[in-house]
Amino acid sequence: MDPEYAAALTKAGLLGAGSTPPLPPSTAKEARAGFDIAVLKGYKAFLEPNLPPSNTYTVTDYPVSVEGGEISVRCLVPVADDQGVTFPVLVNIHGGGWTVGSVELDDYALRGYCVRQKISIVNFEYRLAPEYPFPTAVDDCHAALKWVVSNTSLLKADVKKGFLIGGESAGANLSAVLAHIVRDDPSFEGRRLTGQLLCEPNVCHYAAYPESLKSQFRSMDEFPDMPALTRATIERFYEWYNAPPSDPRFSPLLYPSHRELPRAYIQAMGLDALRDDALVYAEVLREAGVETKLDIYPGVGHGFQYGVPDIPAAAKVRADTEQAIGWLLDRKSSA
């Protein structure tokens, strides 16, 4: 285990003598309250001192109509001297087991990427389970993507300069699903996605692993009690999301073809129960002819970069993520 990570877990009482695996949340309300206290508040406070100057970007929230309701999208746009300049666009989908989280989770990190990488960013606020079970999150994100391509002028965006989608954990799951949906949706003809940014993705329910790949999925059994995402917590999130395990819109590994997907950058944490989802998916994409880069971070668990953002390994995840944006945009200096 990474020594700084081990020290942080020990200090929190999650590692060492007398520690026990954290219990899964009993209700979504409990999960959301715990997430806000344990993760969101501290993570934003850590990033806040390094936010770019407020006059270098704009922040605007827009309502987007979806079937049965409305969602919000937060748009970050670089400020440029030339009013006619346009930027590539990155769509971010937050993580949280389809149950917790919001646009606030990645907001501060995305503001930095927006300014330094000169890219417009759209951050989705999809409706959460269990109040809105599968496939609501998928449908909301699909609707929001359609909003993006119909409102590029608001974003000062040109999707031909780059149209990326990405997220962490459940956000990565939804990003992988939407990459397939957009590939096959004729309404996106001429404005397809050009890159995927998948951090710690969950790409297949363990009950639906393909026989040919089952032997490669070991991490769920190797790290069932690893903070902060135990197997029991994963199962609780699965229960609340209530998706059929074999539906490709939940298990994107099971789409019949991965050909002609946009290039992909994938991150995997070495002690994560979902580690092998990332490893297997990278291999499957490469076999389908998709240009794919994979980074593995040894000695750390799922989402550690949010819970302990001040350790060197977390800084490396953030730096690699930003460099990957350049690679996905085919900027030679980030190759």
Catalytic residues: 169, 272, 302
121 three-state secondary structure: strand
- The angle formed by the CA atoms of residues 305, 286 and 238, to the nearest 5 degrees, is 50
Question: What stretches of the chain show up as alpha helix (H) in DSSP?
Answer: 3-11, 28-35, 41-47, 104-117, 136-150, 152-155, 170-184, 219-222, 231-241, 275-287, 304-307, 312-328
What is the distance in angstroms between the CA of the first residue and the CA of the last residue of the chain?
29
CB 255 within 8 A of CB 177: no
DSSP string, 74-109: EEEEE--SSTT--B-EEEEE--STTTS--THHHHHH
Q: Residue type for 263, please?
A: R
Bridge partner residues of 153 (DSSP): none
Tokens of 50: 């390094």
